[in-house]
């Protein structure tokens, strides 16, 4: 079985090697510290996800609550799961006891529901605020202008901790967009918002992770470049 996977999923190993090399090269070039590589699992069967976990990519990113719930019990127990997709308030309860971070918080209403469900689960939840950095109508995320107000509102909640920012720069976006996100991150850190502990800038996907690292990202989220093209 393990041997079957080794040959059938060998391309994943090649991809991990290539991504890791590129990340290390970028870190040296741009003087970055540690950069976490997240495996984005949407549409990927759990066997492939577990293969990536076995080979060192223990951080998983989930987009869809339903899909996550159908796979989570099959995941390798070494995996750490963070939620990165658009999240409806009525679905928070399904993930509040099992994910370590919700990266896609873009409203006070959502943060309040996370606070409530985290309390029920007897824990606190780490969250990132998602910024709609390209001001795209089709994308979720709070506008850059509303970031400080939202962060201050969330800081009032007892069972939620702001630990980072997340963004999906538009495809082909100018590097200025990445740098703007970097500045927002540094600015917010400088504001020393109560109880916030801003450590992670989650930015960069298959097509732009090197650019993202250049502009301060320390968590990149990789799907296609790792598991291959999604067919949906």
Ligand X SMILES: *Cc1c(COP(=O)(O)O)cnc(C)c1O
Q: Is residue 224 within the footprint of ligand X (CB under 6 A)?
A: yes
Q: Is residue 41 within the footprint of ligand X (CB under 6 A)?
A: no
Query: Of the candidates 203, 205, 213, 219, which one interacts with ligand X according to CB under 6 A?
Result: 205
Residue 157 vs 227, nearer CB to ligand X: 227
Q: Is residue 86 within the footprint of ligand X (CB under 6 A)?
A: no
Q: Is residue 168 within the footprint of ligand X (CB under 6 A)?
A: yes
Q: Is residue 42 within the footprint of ligand X (CB under 6 A)?
A: yes
* Binding-site size, ligand X (CB under 6 A): 14
Query: Of the candidates 22, 189, 206, 210, which one interacts with ligand X according to CB under 6 A?
Result: 206
Smallest distance from the beta carbon of 210 to ligand X, in angstroms?
A: 13
Which pairs from 140-148 meet CB under 8 Å and 24+ separation? 140/86, 140/104, 140/106, 141/106, 141/166, 141/167, 141/168, 142/106, 142/107, 144/180, 144/184, 147/184, 147/188, 148/188, 148/191
Q: Is residue 40 within the footprint of ligand X (CB under 6 A)?
A: yes
Q: Is residue 23 within the footprint of ligand X (CB under 6 A)?
A: no
Residue 183 vs 229, nearer CB to ligand X: 229
Stretch that binds ligand X, among 27-35, 66-74, 120-128, 216-224 (CB under 6 A): 216-224
- Give me the residues that bind ligand X (CB under 6 A), please: 40, 42, 63, 84-85, 168, 205-207, 221-225
């Amino acid at each position: 079985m393990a041997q079957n996977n080794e040959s059938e999923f060998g391309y994943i190993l090649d991809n991990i090697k290539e991504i890791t090399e590129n990340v290390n090269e970028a870190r040296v070039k741009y003087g970055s510290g540690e950069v976490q590589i997240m495996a984005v699992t949407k549409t990927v069967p759990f066997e492939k996800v577990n293969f990536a976990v076995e080979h060192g990519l223990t951080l998983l990113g989930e987009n869809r609550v339903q899909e996550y719930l159908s796979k989570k019990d099959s995941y390798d127990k070494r995996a750490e799961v963070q939620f990165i997709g658009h999240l409806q308030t009525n679905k928070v309860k399904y993930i509040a006891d099992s994910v370590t971070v919700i990266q896609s918080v873009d409203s006070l209403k959502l943060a309040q529901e996370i606070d409530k469900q985290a309390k029920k689960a007897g824990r606190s939840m780490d969250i990132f605020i998602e910024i709609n950095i390209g001001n795209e109508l089709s994308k979720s995320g709070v506008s850059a202008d509303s970031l400080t107000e939202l962060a201050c509102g969330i800081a009032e909640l007892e069972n939620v901790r702001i630990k980072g920012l997340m963004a999906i720069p538009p495809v082909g976006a100018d590097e200025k967009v990445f740098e703007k996100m970097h500045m927002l991150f540094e600015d917010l850190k400088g504001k020393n918002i109560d109880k916030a502990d801003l450590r992670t800038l989650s930015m960069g996907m298959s097509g732009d992770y090197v650019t993202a690292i250049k502009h301060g990202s320390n968590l990149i989220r990789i799907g296609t470049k790792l598991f291959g093209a999604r067919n949906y």
